[in-house]
A and B are shown apart, each in its own frame.
Chain A
């Protein structure tokens, strides 16, 4: 197999731009998804049955359908309905955030419920209210346990952001496919894209490992 470096060199600026957008989409998905996930996770734990049911439906839908379908629905359906026209970047960020929110909600719930109920009781028996107890006693402990599954979810999100290419969001895979169809090449664009994704995901898991170890020794 011959490997044409020259077309790769030509595409370097595009791959750079695409990588930056991939990182941007992932970070947006991670941040918005984490906030959403926290809210939805707390909502699902509420004693109010109808509200908890609604959040449950949300989680079931977004965890139970492919991101591919969700992106198409949001790009061609939801976003035009909201702002009159569509926009790949906006649609991709919305879709990634919503699916991340669903998974992260479950991570939060599991993390919070894994804390011994004696912790909440001790805190409440000292006169602290529910919110104070959550903030000072439960969440700091739950957070440590959430780091590994959250890290997994962030890595999945980086990889899944590649699906944004199907609605012409100019991220990494978009340029990979552009290169592929311009020169009818397979190995150069896709191996390069794979390598860049690998660098992104391994860097993230390296950072998360360090964070985890730092917190463990505290």
Chain B
């Protein structure tokens, strides 16, 4: 589904991703962990071209997204993204946040978009907030709306960049719950997170990144209990 080959990314002279190789299969949940500044966000953002890639290839469903001829908006409709800071549109209601892109990009009618929006709000447990503005929601509710908004485009892949890191502890659970549900339904997901419990329970595979490389990857149980690399061991000893 996603093939990453020799991916490199530099900001000016600062090479942040040095040589990333990864394959993500359909219906797989891949969790990315690693110390701050190791390039996790940058890696994720390269997968939907929020960052311009400086070297290597990323192929999504057979489409080389680094090819100049590729329609990058088309690619993005297939790859949903959820941000640490939610990034809801503050001037639009919850429902309008969800309806906007399906109407503009998928050309759904108002009624179609609204009924899809209601379904999704029900799914994340927020149908009573349809006409609320984002500022009146709690962090956990905002993030669930952001997930619903991304799902409204019916993406084949969902990227999550530390979706619970900006939340108060008591709200982490409700967001993880939605993500677990999504995984259970067979969504292909790439999740950057510090929630090791989530990684262990939901992840099919864990990638450990450090210094712009994927240093080690394995099934969660194996990687957590039996890390092979020194760097993985020392990182895990700090977070577990």
Contact = CB atoms under 8 A, between A and B. Distances in A.
Interface of A: 116, 118-119, 121-129, 132, 136-137, 140-141, 144, 218
Given A118-B83, A141-B91, A127 B50 contact: no
Contact of B77 (A127, A132, A140): A127
A132 B87 contact: no
B76 A124 contact: yes
Contacts, number: 62
Residue from the set B87, B88, B153 with the largest chain A CB neighbour count within 10 Å:
B87
Given A116-B85, A128-B105, A144-B91, 12 more contacts: A122-B81, A122-B83, A122-B146, A125-B76, A125-B80, A127-B74, A127-B76, A128-B101, A136-B104, A137-B89, A137-B100, A218-B91
Contacts of A127: 73-74, 76-77, 101, 105, 153
Contact of A121 (B50, B73, B74): B50
Contact of A129 (B73, B91, B100, B150): B73
B149 interface: yes
A128 B48 contact: no
A28 B76 CA distance: 43
Given A132-B104, A137-B89, A141-B91, A125 B73 contact: no
Nearest to A215: B91
A144 B150 CA distance: 26
Interface string B69-105: 0000110110111010101111100000000110011
**Across the A-B interface, the 9 shortest Cβ-Cβ residue pairs:** A127-B77, A122-B87, A126-B101, A118-B87, A125-B81, A127-B76, A127-B105, A127-B73, A140-B91
Given A126-B149, A126-B150, A119 B105 contact: no
Contacts of B50: 121, 124-125
A125 B85 CA distance: 14
B110 to A, nearest CB: 14
A211 to B, nearest CB: 15
Contacts of A132: 104-105
A137 B153 CA distance: 17
Contact of B85 (A118, A123, A136, A137): A118
Nearest to A122: B87
Nearest to B103: A136
Contacts of B83: 118, 121-122
Contacts of A129: 73
A126 B74 CA distance: 10
A116 B77 CA distance: 22
Contacts of A144: 91
B105 to A, nearest CB: 5
A121 B91 CA distance: 16
11 contacts: A124-B50, A124-B73, A124-B76, A125-B76, A126-B77, A126-B105, A126-B149, A128-B100, A128-B101, A141-B90, A218-B91
A140 B97 CA distance: 14
Contacts of A136: 100, 104
Contacts of B77: 126-127
Contacts of A123: 89, 101
A118 to B, nearest CB: 4
A157 B83 CA distance: 43
Contacts of A116: 85, 87
B162 to A, nearest CB: 13
